[in-house]
Amino acid sequence: MNTTPAVRLTGVTKYFGQVRAVDGIDLTIQPGEVVAFLGPNGAGKTTTVDMLLGLSRPTGGDVEVFGGEARRAVALGRVAAVMQTGGLLKDFTIRETVEFTASLFRPARPVDEVLQRAGIADIGDRLVGKASGGQQQRLRFAMALLSDPDLLVLDEPTTGMDVQGRRDFWSAIRDDARRGRTTLFATHYLEEADAYADRVVLMRHGRIVADGTAAEIKAMAAGRSVRVTWPDADTAALAALPGIDAIDIRGDSVIVHASDSDSVARYLLNQTPARDLEVTSRNLEDAFVALTGDADQTEGVLA
């Protein structure tokens, strides 16, 4: 029905003087996808988000949002964003801030509705300057909901929220995503990317270093671990198998790290007395560190 991608970046670069903040990225996001943007500080995430929102222009390449200019998509309310810090006036009340923004969008959702959905309907009369960090973050979320955007961009959206706030927030995001809203979020909470994104895009040094489901990325970075109970294990035979990264012996337990965990498991169960087999993937945090760390600095420099 709809083949126009929500976002299409083609060969996008952004230089600040000599610094290459974004060093040639291609990224297409289809409508309805929930994409997590991960990367260490300085990876180029925020610079990329700024270009998507029309807040800055790329040095080279092409940024398209719903097939057109980012700035226009923003003005029409097709794209909305929750930015990480700032952006609020202390001497407006929460409700006035939303009313101000609502007056600009055609059409706009009712103010009461977005306050309700962001969970701040009861504190509408509070001055923004007197609201907590979490409440201010909910206010930014309420403002982003006003235009009922087709694409919602979130930069560290749950910073400052308590556990309950974070849970409410993600449940609201999931509800909308199910109804077809495209969502792109940058986050440091790796478990949020793992739990809520259909797709994880990892950035480092201004480039995309990995792009896939959370499970694919974990496997890509670190393979899986196979643990078995096997007293007096024949580690030499094990080490001869293809694709073995490491073997740990811990008492009667043997832990094998391998890129092809299936063949290791098959071997262990069929050809050795090993039992109690468990296969675990490393968590996303390990993958994140492995893929974005500076351990293989040379590759980054050459790239």
Q: Which residues bind other proteins (CB under 8 A)?
A: 1-2, 4, 31, 53-56, 66-67, 74-78, 80-81, 83, 85-92, 96, 99-101, 103-107, 127, 143, 147-148, 150, 179-180
Residue 15 vs 92, nearer CB to other proteins:
92
Q: Give the amino acid at 61.
A: G
CB of 56 to other proteins, least distance (A): 8
Instruction: Give the Cα separation of 51 and 16 in Å (integer).
Output: 13
CB of 204 to other proteins, least distance (A): 26
Residue 100 vs 299, nearer CB to other proteins:
100
Residue 38 vs 83, nearer CB to other proteins:
83
22: alpha, beta or left? (left if phi > 0; alpha if psi -120 to 50):
beta
CB of 74 to other proteins, least distance (A): 6
Cα 17 from chain centroid?
A: 28
CB of 60 to other proteins, least distance (A): 18
Long-range (24+ apart) CB contacts under 8 A made by 102-105 are: 102/146, 105/77, 105/146, 105/147
Instruction: Give the Cα separation of 194 and 134 in Å (integer).
Output: 22
Residue 104 vs 295, nearer CB to other proteins:
104
CB of 77 to other proteins, least distance (A): 6
Residue 53 vs 209, nearer CB to other proteins:
53
Instruction: Give the Cα separation of 142 and 140 in Å (integer).
Output: 5
How do 34-38 and 151-155 pair as beta strands? unpaired
Q: Tell me phi and psi for residue 172, to 5 degrees.
A: -65, -40
